[in-house]
Amino acid sequence: MAGRRAIGRNVQIYIFAEPDKELGGLRLNPSVTKKTFLTMLGISHHTISITDEPCILRIISHSSTGRDQSFGTQVRERDGKCVITGLINDEADSDEWSGFHAAHIFPLSSEDYFLQRGFTRWITNRTGECDTGISSCQNGLLMQSNVHEKFDGLFFSIKPDDGYKIVCFDKDILGIGGKILDPVCHDPSDDRRASDELLRWHFRQAVLANMRGQESQLLRLTFHLALI
């Protein structure tokens, strides 16, 4: 999935023994601190594991089923603003939401995968056993429409284990890198809060999409990284 994303990279990753074989890389932005970079690499005890974990292609859903309408209503009621930029919808009192989208953290189009991997366990406010949870507001964030496109494109993500910091993987044309996800959508006392586990999953997907090398074959390598 590297493709165009590899063009703007200013950091490349190689194995020392194979200097001509690029494993991956990234476009380094100010929001990518040393701590975040090491997390992206999945470092554990000075070791990096190269993975073949899939990255799910996403599309913005514009369906209008009753389930999706309920999802949008709940996300809008909970957030009331773009939780990425902080822009408040001053027309909310007249139920006018043009330019604001209720974005799925995990894509609605991949519900089968959501079920196969047991991600339903990360949703705590389901309406019953038949509710998969993918259309729960816990799988949603309110965003401006242009921000939603970047989110679904995995060009930025949120790192819940670093104070809900927003990390950009591309040119930060929205000026959101390093900002903090608005707390209105992850209040611990609110059972409608966005799922931290799904946010972690989305961040992992963004890392896979933006740091993976050009080659698609299975790589199962482990090597030592000298940390300064």
Helix (H, G, I), strand (E, B) or coil at 219: coil
Q: In the prediction, which pLDDT does 225 show?
A: 36
Distance separating alpha carbons of residues 153 and 36, to the nearest angstrom: 20
42-80 confidence digits (pLDDT tens): 644 455 555 566 667 665 555 545 567 889 999 999 999
pLDDT, mean of residues 164-186 = 95
> What's the mean pLDDT when you consider all of the chain?
80
Higher pLDDT, 167 or 13: 167
CB half-sphere exposure, 185, CA atoms < 13 A: 31
Nearest to 63 by CA among 107, 120, 96: 107
pLDDT, mean of residues 157-162 = 95
pLDDT, mean of residues 112-134 = 88
Asked if 36 and 46 count as a contact pair (C-beta separation under 8 A), the reply is no
Question: Which residues in the chain belong to E strands, given as ranges?
Answer: 11-15, 18-26, 47-49, 100-104, 140-144, 156-159, 165-168, 222-224
Distances (CA, A) of 17 to 21, 51, 58: 9, 19, 35
Number of separate domains in the chain: 1
pTM score of the predicted model: 0.74
**Structure confidence at residue 208 as a pLDDT band (50, 70, 90):** confident
Task: Read off the tokens for 19.
Answer: 């200097």
Query: To which residue do tokens 């189009």 refer?
Result: 109
Q: In the prediction, which pLDDT does 68 show?
A: 78
Q: Residues of 94-115 as b/e, b for ≥16 C-beta within 10 angstroms? A: eeeeeebbbbbbbbbbbeeebe
Question: Structural domain of residue 92, as residue ranges?
Answer: 1-228
Higher pLDDT, 129 or 47: 129
Distances (CA, A) of 31 to 42, 70, 108, 114, 200: 18, 34, 28, 29, 17
Higher pLDDT, 228 or 33: 33
